Amino acid sequence: MKAPSIFRWMLISEWRAHIMQIAVALIAIAIGVAMAFSIHLINSAAFNEFSAASKSLSGLSDLQVRGRKAFFDEALYPLLAKHPSIALANPVLELDVTIAGKQQSRNDHKLKIIGIDPFRAAQISPDLLGLPKEGETLDRIASDTIFLSPAAMEWLQVEQGDALQLQAGLQAITLRVAGGLVRARAGQRIAVMDIGAAQWRFEQIGQLSRIELKLKDGINHAAFKTSLAEELGESYWVMEAADQETRIANMSRAYRINLNMLALVALFTGTFLVFSTQALSVIRRRQQFALLRVLGFTRQQLLRQIITEGGLLGIMGSLLGLGLGYAVAAMAIQFLGGDLGTNFFPGVKPSIFFDPWDVVIFFAVGLSVTLLGSIAPALEAVRAQPASALRSGTEDAVMAKLSSPWFAVICLSLALLFTQLPPVFELPVFGYLAIALLLIGGITLMPRFAAWTFSSLSNRSFHERIGAVFTLALARLANAPNQAAIALGGILASFSLMVAMAIMVTSFRVSIDAWLEHVLPADLYVRTAAIGDQGGFQSDAQNAIIALPGFDRVDFFRTQQLTLDVNRPDITLFARPVDKEDPRNTLPLTDDVIARGLLPEDVMPIWVSEAMVDLYGYRVGEKVILSIGVIPSEFLIAGVWRDYGRQFGAIQMQLTDYQRLTGDSSVNNVALWLQAGTSSDTVITSLRQLPFGAALEVSRSSDMRALSLEIFDRSFAVTYLLEIVAVIIGLLGVAASFSAQILARAKEFGMLRHIGVMRRQILMMLTVEGGLLTALGVVLGFVLGWSISLILVFIVNPQSFHWTMQLHLPWSWLLAIAVIMLISAALTALFFGRKAVSVQVIRVVREDW
C-alpha cells in the first residue's frame, strides 16, 4: 500500500471512529474564528461608513479651521476669505437639534443640522446642496426651509412640503421641508439649511462651527497649515481630512480592539480543545504508530500524518467559522446596528464589505492556532521509541514530557512582569499578553495539581471507609494525572475565561451603579432641547424655576465641549457649584486630590477625570492653561474624579469662575432637590405650567440610573455573548475529552469486569471521576479566572478606557455555571461509560490473551 493511501486510511478511520470529538474541535475552532471575524467585519463596516459620511460633509476642502470650543466668532471668516493663499473659504454651522416629541436621552434621537452658504458649498461640498422643487431654487436660501436626507425623512416620517417642528432651547421652530439631499449616504440623518437662517432661527448669530478652506494651486499644504496655525494662535485648530479620520478612529479604537481581543479569547480556548483532541488521538494510537515505525514508516512521514490531521481540522474549522462569522455580522448589523449598541457611530447604515485579505488573515489565524495545538502531540509521537510504545500501560507517560514545571514557571513569571509594564500606543498590549501567559502557565501545571490533589485524596481514602467505587476512581485519577490533565485543560481554559469576563463586567456594572448614585444625587433633573453647546436657560428662566415652591435646593450646570488635541475626540467641560471646602460632597473623587484646607484662595481650581491624567498628563497640583473665556486662563488641578460616562476626558470647574471668564450666564441643566414631603409629580406639574414648560425635559434620578444601566447592558451585549460562548466551548470540551478517554479505556473496564466489578459500579466510578475532575477544574478555573479578572479590572480597563473600578464577584452566576458544568460532566461520563461497558468482556481484553 502506498504512503498516500495509508495516510487517507488512517485519517478516515480515526475520524470515523471518533466523530463526536472531531466535531467538537471543529465547532470550537469555528466559533472562535466566527466571533473574531464577525466583530472585525462589523467594526470595519461601521468605521468605514462613518468615515465616508464624515468626508462627504467636508467635501473637497484642503484644510479646516475649528475653534477649541464648539463655536467661534464668524469675524474670522472674512479674514480667511481674503487670504492670498486661499482660493475659497466656506463657513459652516453644525447643530444637533432635538425633534419636538422625541426624547433626547441618546444622541441618535437628535438631528444634525448643517448651515451652509449654498453658493460657496456648491464649489467645495456639493453633496450638501439640497434638491428643491423645479422652479423653487430660492428655497435654498429661504429663512423657513430645510432639506433632509432620505434617512432623516424616513426617521421623521415627513415628505417634501411637510412642516417640521424642531425644539431649540425653550423655543419651538417650524420649518418647511423644501427637498432632499440626494447625495447623502445610506442611514445618514442630516439636514441642511442656509447658514444665515440657521444662525437666526437657532439663536447662533455670529457663530460658526468650522471654516473649510480650498487652497490655491501651487500652495504647499503642510507648510501653509503650519503657518496658518501660528498666525491664528492657540484659540483655533487647523486640520486636514486625515486629522478628522484619526479623531474618528480614536473614538472607538479601545472598544474595537478589546472586542477583538475577547473574540480571540474564544479562538485561544479552541486551541486547547484541538490540543486535547490531538493528544488523546496520539495516546490512543500510540501502539499503531509504533507498529508503523517498525514496518518502515519514517519519523518525517509520521509527523506529516499528525500535522496533516491537525491542519485539516484547522482548514475545515476556519472555513466554517468564516461563513458563520459573515452571517453573524450581517444579523448583528441588522438588529444591533453598526456600533453594536454602543452609539460610537450614530446615524450610519453600514454594509459589510467582503475583503479577500481579511478572509485570508482570519483563515490563517484559525489554521495557525490549530496547528499550534497539534505540534506538541505530534513531536511526542515521533520521538517515542517503538519498543516501549508497543507495550500497553505507557499512555500516561506520554503527557509527562509536556508538563515541565519550568515552562509553567517561566510563563507565570513573564505574566507577572507584563502586568507592571505601561500601555503601548495607549493599548493594554502587555495586559493581554499577561492573560495569555497566565492561561498557558496555569494549564501547563494541571498535571501536577491533579497528581497532588488526587494522590492526597487517595492516601486519605486508605484510612477511611469510602467504598470500592470511590477508591477505584481516586486511584485511577492519582495514577494517571497527565491524562486527567487533558480534560482539565479544556475545563480550565473555558471556565477561567468565563469567570474573568463575568467578574469584569459585574465589577464595571456595580461600580457604575454606585457612581450614578453619587453623580445623580438630586431628585429631579431638568434640561432643554440641546442647541449645540449653547445654554437653554437664560437668567429669567432660571429665576422662574427658583421661584417655584417645593425645592430644598437648586443647582445650575453649564456643559460644553472643548478640543485640547486635534487628534483626539473633544473633552467635556462641566461648570457647576462645587463644594470648595470638601469637593467629595459634590464629585466622585479618587484618592488623588489636594487635601482639605490646602487649596490656595487666589487660584481657579478644576477637577479632572481619570482620562485627563492618562491622555493629557494632567497631575494634581499642576497649573494648566485652558481657552475657556475670550483669552486663555490659568487653572490649578485640585483633584481627580471618576467618570464612567466619558472615556475621552472631562473637567469640572466652579460655575462662578466660568461665568466670570466668559460672561455667559446661561445654563443647560438644572438639578432639583425636593423638600421633605413634596411629591415629585406635583413639582413636575408646576414645571410644566411655566411659560416654557412644554419645552422642558424632566427626568427622575431613578429613571436616569435605570436608563444608564440599560445602555450599559446594550453596550456589553457582545461581551455577554462571549461569556456564553466560553461556557458552551467549555461544555463541549468536557464532553469531547471525557468521551474519548472513556472509550479508550474499554480494556480497563473489561479487566475490571473479569475480577468481579459490576457494570453499574463502573458507571458510578466514571460518574465520580467526571465529577471530581470537573470540581477540580472549576476550583482551579475560579482561581485562574479571578487572577485574570484582576488584570482586566485593574490593568486592561484603565489602560483602554481610562477609568478605575472596584472588584465585585457575581457569586450566584458563577455558582450556577459551576453546577451546570459538574452535572454535564457527570452525565457525559455516564453516557459514554454505558457505551464503553456494553461491549462483551472477552472481546475488549482479547489483545491480552
Of the residues 214, 239, 264, the one at which a domain ends = 239
Of the residues 182, 215, 239, the one at which a domain ends = 239
Query: Are residues 746 and 638 part of one domain?
Result: no
Kind plus residue range of the DSSP H or E element containing 354: none
Read off the pLDDT band of 622 (50, 70, 90).
very high
Q: What is the pLDDT of residue 483?
A: 65
Q: Find, among 181, 197, 198, the residue nearest to 125 by Cα.
A: 181
Report d(CA 755, CA 179) in Å as an integer.
Answer: 91
Report d(CA 575, CA 559) in Å as an integer.
Answer: 6
Q: Is 692 or 335 the better-scoring residue by pLDDT?
A: 692
Query: Are residues 142 and 68 part of one domain?
Result: yes
Q: What is the pLDDT of residues 8-31, one digit of tens each?
A: 776 777 677 667 667 777 777 787
Name, in order, each residue with C-beta under 8 angstroms of 749's C-beta and a sequence gap of 6 or more: 762, 836, 837, 844
User: Is 800:258 a contact under the CB 8 Å cutoff?
Assistant: yes
| Amino acid at site 581 | E
Query: Are residues 598 and 548 part of one domain?
Result: yes
Sign, Cα dihedral of 652, 655, 661, 667: positive
Residue with cell string 500535522: 307
Kind plus residue range of the DSSP H or E element containing 9: helix 3-17
Cell numbers at residue 260, please? 477583538
Choose the weakest-confidence range: 150-154, 164-168, 227-231, 625-629: 164-168
Name, in order, each residue with C-beta under 8 angstroms of 758's C-beta and a sequence gap of 6 or more: none
User: Is 398:428 a contact under the CB 8 Å cutoff?
Assistant: no
Report d(CA 788, CA 228) in Å as an integer.
Answer: 50
Whether 347 shows a pLDDT value over 80: the answer reads no
Answer yes or no: is 418 within a domain: no
Read off the pLDDT band of 726 (50, 70, 90).
low
Query: Are residues 345 and 449 part of one domain?
Result: no
**DSSP assignment of 37-68:** HHHHHHHHHHHHHHHHHHHHHHTT-SEEEEES
Report d(CA 293, CA 291) in Å as an integer.
Answer: 5
CB atoms within 10 A of CB 324: 18
Q: What is the pLDDT of residue 106?
A: 46
Q: What is the pLDDT of residue 762?
A: 78
What's the average model confidence in pLDDT over 508-531? 86
Q: Is 222 or 291 the better-scoring residue by pLDDT?
A: 222
Q: Beta-strand (E) ranges in 694-846?
A: 696-700
Kind plus residue range of the DSSP H or E element containing 716: none
Report d(CA 650, CA 575) in Å as an integer.
Answer: 11
Whether 223 shows a pLDDT value over 70: the answer reads yes
SS3 672: strand
Query: Are residues 642 and 504 part of one domain?
Result: no
Q: What is the pLDDT of residue 790?
A: 94
Q: What count of Cα atoms within 13 Å lies in the side-chain half-sphere of residue 639? A: 24
Q: Is 489 or 454 the better-scoring residue by pLDDT?
A: 454
Name, in order, each residue with C-beta under 8 angstroms of 128's C-beta and a sequence gap of 6 or more: 57, 59, 114, 116, 121, 181, 192
Whether 459 shows a pLDDT value over 50: the answer reads yes
| Amino acid at site 834 | R
Name, in order, each residue with C-beta under 8 angstroms of 797's C-beta and a sequence gap of 6 or more: 504, 508, 803, 804, 805
| Amino acid at site 734 | V
- Helix-, strand-, coil-residue percentages of the chain, each rounded to 5: 60, 15, 25
Answer yes or no: is 673 within a domain: no
Answer yes or no: is 412 within a domain: no
Query: Are residues 509 and 552 part of one domain?
Result: no
Q: What is the pLDDT of residue 343?
A: 57
Query: Are residues 658 and 614 part of one domain?
Result: yes
Cell numbers at residue 249, please? 478612529
Read off the pLDDT band of 417 (50, 70, 90).
very high
Answer yes or no: is 599 within a domain: yes
Query: Are residues 718 and 607 part of one domain?
Result: no
Report d(CA 528, CA 538) in Å as an integer.
Answer: 11
Name, in order, each residue with C-beta under 8 angstroms of 72's C-beta and a sequence gap of 6 or more: 66, 207, 208, 235, 236
Which range of 43-57, 609-623, 827-841 scores highest in mean pLDDT? It is 609-623
**Percent with pLDDT over 90 in the chain:** 24
Query: Are residues 760 and 620 part of one domain?
Result: no
User: Is 164:176 a contact under the CB 8 Å cutoff?
Assistant: yes
Mean pLDDT of the chain: 81
Report d(CA 537, CA 170) in Å as an integer.
Answer: 8
Q: Find, among 405, 511, 383, the residue nearest to 452 by Cα.
A: 405
Answer yes or no: is 675 within a domain: no
| Amino acid at site 732 | L
Q: What is the pLDDT of residue 338?
A: 56
Strands 650-654 vs 571-576: parallel, antiparallel or unpaired: parallel
Residue with cell string 470540551: 733
Q: What is the pLDDT of residues 59-110, one digit of tens each?
A: 778 899 998 888 899 999 999 999 999 999 999 999 888 776 555 444 456 7
Read off the pLDDT band of 621 (50, 70, 90).
very high
What's the average model confidence in pLDDT over 743-770? 74
Choose the weakest-confidence range: 94-98, 401-405, 781-785: 401-405
Answer yes or no: is 811 within a domain: yes
Longest distance between any two alpha carbons in the chain, whole Å: 104
Query: Are residues 814 and 710 part of one domain?
Result: yes
Q: Find, among 56, 97, 87, the residue nearest to 244 by Cα.
A: 56
**Environment class of residue 368 by beta-carbon count within 10 Å: exposed (0-12), middle (13-18) or buried (19+)?**
middle
Report d(CA 128, CA 122) in Å as an integer.
Answer: 8
Cell numbers at residue 753, please? 469486569
Residue with cell string 423657513: 144
Beta bridge partners of 210: 66, 92
Query: Are residues 213 and 78 part of one domain?
Result: yes
Answer yes or no: is 511 within a domain: yes
Cell numbers at residue 263, please? 473574540
Choose the weakest-confidence range: 153-157, 343-347, 714-718: 343-347
Q: How many domains does the structure of the chain reveal?
A: 4
Q: Is 822 or 639 the better-scoring residue by pLDDT?
A: 639
Q: What is the pLDDT of residue 713?
A: 78
**DSSP assignment of 606-647:** EEEEHHHHHHH---TT-EEEE--SSS-EEEEEEEEE--SS-T
User: Is 482:531 a contact under the CB 8 Å cutoff?
Assistant: no
Of the residues 619, 645, 667, the one at which a domain ends = 667
Answer yes or no: is 682 within a domain: no
User: Is 571:649 a contact under the CB 8 Å cutoff?
Assistant: yes
Q: Is 397 or 834 the better-scoring residue by pLDDT?
A: 834
Report d(CA 406, CA 739) in Å as an integer.
Answer: 31
Q: What is the pLDDT of residue 608?
A: 96
Residue 615 sits in which domain range? 531-667
Q: What is the pLDDT of residues 530-553, one digit of tens each?
A: 665 666 788 899 999 999 999 999
**Environment class of residue 100 by beta-carbon count within 10 Å: exposed (0-12), middle (13-18) or buried (19+)?**
middle
Whether 251 shows a pLDDT value over 80: the answer reads no
**Percent with pLDDT over 70 in the chain:** 78
Strands 110-116 vs 163-168: parallel, antiparallel or unpaired: unpaired
Report d(CA 440, CA 772) in Å as an integer.
Answer: 22
Report d(CA 278, CA 377) in Å as an integer.
Answer: 6
Q: What is the pLDDT of residue 849?
A: 42
Query: Are residues 86 and 56 part of one domain?
Result: no
User: Is 792:504 a contact under the CB 8 Å cutoff?
Assistant: yes
Q: What is the pLDDT of residue 808?
A: 92
